[in-house]
Chains A and B, each alone.
Chain A
Amino acid sequence: MKILVTAKRVEDPESKIKVKADGSGIVQEGLKYKINPFDEIAVEEGLRLAAKHGGEVVVVSIGPKEVQEQLRHALAMGATKAVWVNHGGALDPMSAAGLLKAVLEREKPDLAILGKQSIDDDQNQTGQYLAEWLGWSQATFASKVESLESDAEKAKTPAIHIAADGKSAQVVREVDNGLTTLSVKLPAIVTSDLRLNLPRYASLPGIMKAKNKPIEELTPAALGVDASPQIQVVKLSAPPPRKAGVKVGDVQELFTKLKNEAKVI
């Protein structure tokens, strides 16, 4: 089977993010970038499914030439080939979904796994648009059954289970009060939640093999897609700085402060 996964380039969550003084964006100088963590989980799930059922994992990223680093990362983890949509402009969920739709129509995967959202602007919409526009079934927030004891038990009940005939998949998804299990017809769009799996580390031999794996370059024009965004970011503002804490001498003082100053007890 053929599985398509996404690898968006986002700011490293461990970098210190500063908003520009005029609120027009963030300061990019000195920032580190990495693959969106939800996408890394999608890549991992794709690799596990491909290992189990045979087949290949194709990874897609949209952005300027730097996104090839994230594609190489997914290739180093074990993806078979990459598609790079070379696009320098701003993106919103609709323009990303529009480009991905065109890529999916070319690649014709049996299943596409996307991160449920990207940690830069937390929109949580791309997978949903994509499924709607393709007319495919969708299962968002795919997640692992956490209560199972051992890794072996967990492996027996994967969150995404492909039916023997390859025509449908069962997906466990995380909802507010627990888990639901959906059965979706393939091809389908699945989005990954945080607890779906723990992505493998890229190994050094994997990094070297990735150098020789193909990255196909496409452009919005070649895909016939108008990628101009419909949403414009008007202003960014940083959260107010946190006030410094105070040290208390003993438990009694802590109680007094919680009671009289914080008024929480």
Chain B
Amino acid sequence: MPLFADATDPWLTLLQFTVIGLTKGSLFALIALGYTMVYGIVELINFAHGDLFMLGSFVAFTILGLFGVQSAGDPYADAGFVLLCFAAAIPFCAALNVAVDRVVYRPLRNAPKLAPLVSAIGVSFIFMNVGLFWGGSQDVNFPNLVSDDNLFGETAKIRFTAKDLMVIGVTVPLMVALTVFVKFTSLGTAMRATAQNPTAAKLMGINTETVIATTFAIGGALAGAASVTYGLYINTISYQIGFQNGLYAFTAAVLGGIGNIPGAVLGALIIGLVVSLGSVYVGERWTSALVFAILIVILVFRPSGLLGSRTREKV
């Protein structure tokens, strides 16, 4: 966690924690997108999504372990290991998400909405226990491969590190790519069509099950990318990171308007700011409570979120 350089200037403190908040927020966004896209298409709150993210970080951790990587070494070798982590965690999370949909949620597609929801909670517990078995009950140190050096120089008043840059460098291109895919490709348009009216989509000749599987794959892939980024950024992982980050990301998705892709990104940036600024001005131990409070307030006063349509024309 980068420290702010000048604790005496309140405006610098604000600026510093805004930067940290937006960086964290962009990481939450990758996770939030998986919640919101899946909800948009099958109206399921995939409670296992945060835990999928957690398992992704253990895949990366295990791979680094296999190569005996414990701390930063040769920068080129480290870059290769980092790429290897992404190359493993992304398809792992994508495939696992698709598999869970295929085996657990798909048979319940026409069942009352409560059935897949309860199943998702069950899958969440299973994943969490796998994580507990895999990594133990204690926090584990994720190798610190990306530099904490301030890119502006160590004497600068604002810290923006190579780590922060890495987070932005992973999250922003992925969000741009997702937007282009959803907006401009035939499959992306079919995804939006299926979300708006699945029966009509079928009548267009769209294989909606393929579209749903693609959605789970993309959501899983983004969670996989987020999991490696998280490990490299925070450097501590445990079987519980899925719960906390999942809660933040889920709240972000609801805040933006669940089912709404730009909404999830906006919501995540806001939650990032709340978590970061909350830790300075309210206190670190209150951040979870703060986020929970936001979740409840939205659910009560504006369940459609900031960008969601107030009326859903779902039948």
Same complex origin of A and B: no
Could you list which residues of chain B lie within 8 angstroms of chain A, going by C-beta atoms? none
